[in-house]
Amino acid sequence: MKLIVGLGNPGEKYAATRHNVGFHWLCRLAEQLRITFKSEVKFHGLCANVVFDNEQFWLLKPQTYMNASGMAVAALSRFYKISPDQLLVVHDELDLPPGTAKLKLGGGAGGHNGLKDIITRLATQDFWRLRIGVGHPGNKNEVVDYVLHPPRKEEALLIDDAIQRSLVIWPLIASGDYTAAMHKLHTKQKEL
């Protein structure tokens, strides 16, 4: 793994929304690693360079708003010659209930505009995704409003728990042991 991207929207207005789960995950990882992000204009985002187990990788929070997330991902990926299979995108997932986290390689955008832009700009779907469940409002016409608002208190606790559980496996992801990471993450959820 050479690049971990957390998706979200910049600004205080969006900070606590469901759509910013990827930002929350990445901020927690940065806290664990005791690193800070700095603004990188050429990468259209907040970045941090990390060395873990003698491996170097990047953390990226795009500051382009969700619909243009691919601009930041493509800029950093191309500059450092990071291939899509060395990329992990952490994002909110409507198709999973709060409290669920799933790791997978590839797949479509599933209506997620951030993923859609990344797929378009990288010209591939073949990158890793860590999907943090936020649930679905039940009506597709309510999705935009739903993701741009904070979760209810009980949902927030479940989402926070999924973030914590998925952070436990990040060393396995960083080392490229995706099978073990998926097994550990997906098995833990079944036990709950």
**pLDDT, mean over the chain:** 94
pLDDT at 189 over 70: no
Q: Dihedral sign, CA of 117, 133, 185, 179?
A: negative
The answer to whether 80 is annotated as binding is no
User: What positions carry a catalytic annotation?
Assistant: 19
CA 17 to each of CA 32, 46, 137: distance values in angstroms, whole numbers, following the listed order = 22, 19, 14
**Of 144, 132, 48, the residue nearest 95 (C-alpha):** 132
Beta strands in 45-86 (DSSP E): 45-52, 55-62
Domain 3-191, CATH among 3.40.50.1470, 3.40.50.2300, 3.40.50.1970, 3.40.50.1000: 3.40.50.1470
Q: Confidence band (pLDDT; 50, 70, 90) for 68?
A: very high
| 67 labelled ligand-binding | yes
Domain ranges of the chain: 3-191
d(CA 69, CA 121): 9
SS3 call for 96: coil
Q: What is the pLDDT of residue 54?
A: 85
Sign of the C-alpha dihedral computed for residues 154, 97, 171 and 12 taken in this order: negative
List, for residues 38-54, the tens digit of each pLDDT value. 999 999 999 999 988 88
Overall residue count recorded for the chain in this entry: 192
Give ∠ CA 104-190-160 in degrees, rounded to 5: 70
- Please, where are the H alpha helices in 56-112? 69-79
Q: Are 30 and 114 in contact (CB under 8 A)?
A: no
β-pair partners for 55: 52
* Amino acid type, 17: T
Is-contact 18 147, C-beta < 8 A? yes
Q: How far is CA 146 from CA 160, 166, 189, in A?
A: 18, 23, 24
Confirm if 143 and 136 have CB atoms less than 8 A apart: yes
Helix or strand run (H / E) with residue 137: none
Average pLDDT of the segment spanning 72-88? 97
Say which range, 14-28, 85-99, 177-191, has the weakest mean pLDDT.
177-191
